[in-house]
């Protein structure tokens, strides 16, 4: 037995329409108000993105952005775009920092 996503009444699994409200069943096998419960868990992606942005100002945050980004990419589907963004941003920031310090170092080296 399944449940109508609109009115919540029971619908025989072979029925094409809900007997309660007449809603046509488009996607079968869903509980009432059914929606995959993977909503949460995008926290790592958000954290990675924020830390990536903060990393432009505070270098060490970029390291955390990479860590959180890697966790976010591996863990959840929803926040994956943000996790990737944070991960890439962290890498870019660290790359820029390395270039910056190599640049500074080379100046001092040639002085
Ligand atoms: Zn219904």
The 10s digit of each residue's pLDDT in 26-35 is 654 555 555 5
CA 19, chain centre distance (Å):
39
User: For residue 36, is pLDDT > 80?
Assistant: no
DSSP designation for 17: B
Distance 2 CA to ligand 1 centre (A): 11
pLDDT at position 42 is 67
Mean pLDDT of the chain: 78
Q: How far is Cα 50 from Cα 68, in angstroms, rounded to an integer? A: 10
User: For residue 90, is pLDDT > 80?
Assistant: yes
Distance 23 CA to ligand 1 centre (A): 5
pTM recorded for the entire structure:
0.49
pLDDT at position 79 is 65
The answer to whether 93 touches 55, Cβ cutoff 8 Å, is: yes
Distance 40 CA to ligand 1 centre (A): 28
pLDDT at position 57 is 79
Distance 36 CA to ligand 1 centre (A): 20
Distance 17 CA to ligand 1 centre (A): 8
pLDDT at position 37 is 47
Distance 37 CA to ligand 1 centre (A): 22
Distance 75 CA to ligand 1 centre (A): 35
- What mean pLDDT comes out for the span 81-98? 84
Distance 39 CA to ligand 1 centre (A): 25
Supply 107's token pair.
């100046």
User: For residue 53, is pLDDT > 50?
Assistant: yes
Q: Percentages helix, strand, coil for the chain, rounded to the nearest 5? A: 55, 5, 40
Q: How far is Cα 35 from Cα 33, in angstroms, rounded to an integer? A: 6
SS3 55: helix
Q: How far is Cα 45 from Cα 87, in angstroms, rounded to an integer? A: 9
């Amino acid at each position: 037995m399944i449940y109508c996503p609109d009115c919540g009444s029971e619908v025989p699994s072979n029925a094409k329409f809900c007997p309660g409200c007449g809603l046509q069943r488009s996607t079968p096998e869903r509980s009432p108000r059914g929606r995959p419960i993977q909503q949460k868990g995008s926290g790592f992606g958000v954290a990675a993105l924020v830390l990536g942005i903060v990393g432009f100002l505070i270098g060490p945050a970029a390291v955390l952005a990479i860590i959180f980004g890697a966790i976010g990419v591996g863990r959840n589907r929803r926040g994956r775009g943000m996790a990737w963004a944070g991960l890439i941003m962290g890498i870019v920031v660290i790359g820029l920092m390395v270039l910056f310090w190599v640049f500074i170092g080379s100046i001092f080296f040639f002085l």
